[in-house]
């Protein structure tokens, strides 16, 4: 079983450099094209099903990819919603720097909570789909920190409509690629 995280396509808030978080913002036309372009990146694996976060930008990205690959569009999983940034959602980088220079936003969801939700979602998708190769469309922060936790190393920002693959390794998971690029294994010990 191979799984892949795909970050949703661009939204107007992404374009305007606004902190989006769990606010339900739809894709813009660029984001729809990014979703169509991601289909070529997925070549080489026999993908069978695609699931997503329930937020519109993720659900529409999943729908476009499902249609393009001719695969099943599965359900939305609440665990895959993006990190809640509290009062900072919708704010530009300039406003954030002015109001919250330490980035300690009122109502901010902890990274531990985000990783716990991401890990729970992976296990739930695995339980629901067994050995089927499954695509998971969700959001940059949950992808970045969940993969960092699985791999035991830090990853950079996740690009819109990029693909990150991982597979089952014993009782855990092995990260194979991030942002459409292979990940070199880090020797342990």
Give the β-pairing of 172-175 and 134-138: unpaired
Neighbours of 132 (CB within 10 A): 18
Question: Is 129 annotated as a binding-site member?
Answer: no
Residue 20 labelled as part of a binding site: no
**Residue 21 annotated in ligand binding:** no
CA–CA separation, 171 and 97 (whole Å): 42
- Residue 100 counted as an annotated binding residue: no
Check the annotation: does 123 bind a ligand.
Answer: no
Confirm whether 8 is a catalytic residue.
yes
Q: How would you label 60-69 residue by residue, b for 16+ Cβ within 10 Å and e otherwise?
A: bbbebbbeeb
Indicate which residue of 8, 79, 89, 139 is catalytic. Answer: 8
| Given 60, 67, 72, 82, the catalytic residue | 82
119 annotated to bind ligand: no
State yes or no: is 94 an active-site residue.
no
- 14 in a labelled binding site: yes
On whether 11 is known to bind a ligand per the annotation, the reply is yes
CA atoms within 13 A on the CB side of 98: 5
Residue 82, annotated ligand binder? yes
7: annotated binding-site residue? yes
Would the CA dihedral through 134, 62, 38, 14 be positive or negative? Answer: negative
Q: Which residue has the tokens 């739809």?
A: 26
- Contact status, residue 65 vs residue 50, Cβ threshold 8 Å: yes
* Residue list for the binding site for substrate: 7-14, 57, 82-85
* Residue list for the binding site: 7-14, 57, 82-85
Positions annotated as catalytic residues are 8, 82
């Amino acid at each position: 079983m191979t799984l892949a995280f795909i970050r949703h396509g661009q939204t107007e808030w992404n374009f305007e450099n606004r902190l989006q978080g769990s606010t339900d913002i739809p894709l813009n036309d660029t984001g729809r094209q990014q979703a169509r372009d991601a289909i070529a990146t997925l070549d080489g694996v026999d993908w069978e099903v695609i699931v997503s976060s329930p937020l519109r930008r993720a659900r529409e990205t999943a729908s476009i990819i499902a249609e393009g690959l001719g695969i099943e569009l599965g359900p939305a999983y609440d665990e895959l919603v993006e990190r809640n940034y509290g009062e900072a959602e919708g704010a530009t980088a300039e406003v954030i720097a002015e109001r919250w220079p330490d980035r300690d936003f009122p109502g901010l969801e902890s990274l531990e909570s985000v990783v716990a939700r991401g890990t729970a979602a992976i296990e739930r998708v695995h339980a629901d789909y067994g050995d089927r190769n499954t695509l998971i469309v969700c959001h940059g922060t949950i992808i970045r920190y969940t993969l960092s936790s699985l791999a035991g190393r830090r990853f950079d920002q996740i690009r819109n409509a990029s693909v990150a693959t991982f597979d089952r390794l014993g009782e855990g998971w092995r990260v194979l690629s991030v942002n459409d690029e292979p990940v070199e294994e880090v020797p342990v010990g």
